[in-house]
Amino acid sequence: MMTEREFLAALRTLPLHTGSRGLEDDCALIEIGGETLVFNHDMMAEDTHFRRNADLADVAWKLVAINLSDLASKGAKPVGVLLGHSLGGNDQRFVEGLREVLAAYDVPLMGGDTIAATGASTYSLTAIGKATSAPVPSRGGAEAGHSVFATGSFGRAMLGFEGDPAHVAAFNRPRPRIEEGLALASLVGGMMDVSDGLLLDAFRMAQASKVTIAIESAAVPVAAPDRRTECMQWGDDYELLFTLPDGIVPPVEATMIGTVEPQGFVPLFVDGEPVANPEGLGYQHG
């Protein structure tokens, strides 16, 4: 079986649409007339992304939220979603959660597909948005001299997964940073949402931008200071990681956590220590 990285490398050998950005970003782009549509697709599987006894209303909320989070990282205003649903769980609860999240973010359902399946339940969603700035932000836009910022704090989803009542909602029902993404879109160098862990996603941004990113861990806001490294690695927080040119103040609440340096011998430094390999920095499939 291929790892996620190996499979993506194989996909990059196929004919790619120019809007795919080389499969190195979270979204694809299609220009129509004077507008750019932004597309994202994410999946969730039982026992990988949610527990077997999870409330499917929460699963539906999270499925939509993680897709909207990717649109947020492109400064895209959501237009609608397409759903892929496997029957067999508490389908009514799924519909109820779907109704709640679509209403909360004023996003309509446009269609999709439903199947009856045996084995683990799998759900997928395609989110479509409309870009609000040009160029559309990407992972590959960070430049040497930029400062690195992040919204919110990290580790809340980890604590929620572990049952901490103060953070259960952060794991079950994350809140995509749509308004922040819209406010930042025309200002940022690089921007992406943090889904697989802050350190891993900073590593990915550095690779895509062909720079080195230096993170100061003490500057990173975390939900559990005594577990700082875990908070930066666990993932599922769906905050925005972005860079800004020197002198530009972020128009949203965010914390400066590092700097962008010219490309060196490794993509990432953490507290001055070089990190050459992404293994162990966050969550990766396979």
Boundary of a domain, candidates 72, 96, 131: 131
Give tens-digit pLDDT for 90-111: 899 999 999 999 999 999 999 9
Domain co-membership, 122 together with 204: no
Domain co-membership, 144 together with 260: yes
What dihedral angle (degrees, nearest 10) is formed by the CA atoms of 29, 30, 33, 34?
Answer: 0
Nearest C-alpha neighbor of 230 from the set 177, 280, 171: 280
pLDDT the model gives residue 284: 59
Range of the domain at 144: 139-275
Sequence-ordered list of residues with C-beta below 8 angstroms from that of 173, at least 6 positions apart, any chain: 58, 61, 62, 65, 101
Boundary of a domain, candidates 98, 131, 164: 131
| DSSP classification of residue 250 | P
Domain co-membership, 188 together with 124: no
Percent of the chain residues past pLDDT 70, beyond the cut: 99
The CATH number covering residue 269 comes to: 3.90.650.10
The total number of structural domains in the chain stands at 2
Residue 282 located in a structural domain: no
Nearest C-alpha neighbor of 283 from the set 77, 3, 40, 59: 3
Above 60 in pLDDT, residue 286?
no
Boundary of a domain, candidates 104, 131, 158: 131
Q: Which residue has the tokens 């925005």?
A: 240
pLDDT the model gives residue 283: 64
**Cα 192 to Cα 43: distance, rounded to the nearest angstrom:** 18
Domain co-membership, 175 together with 221: yes
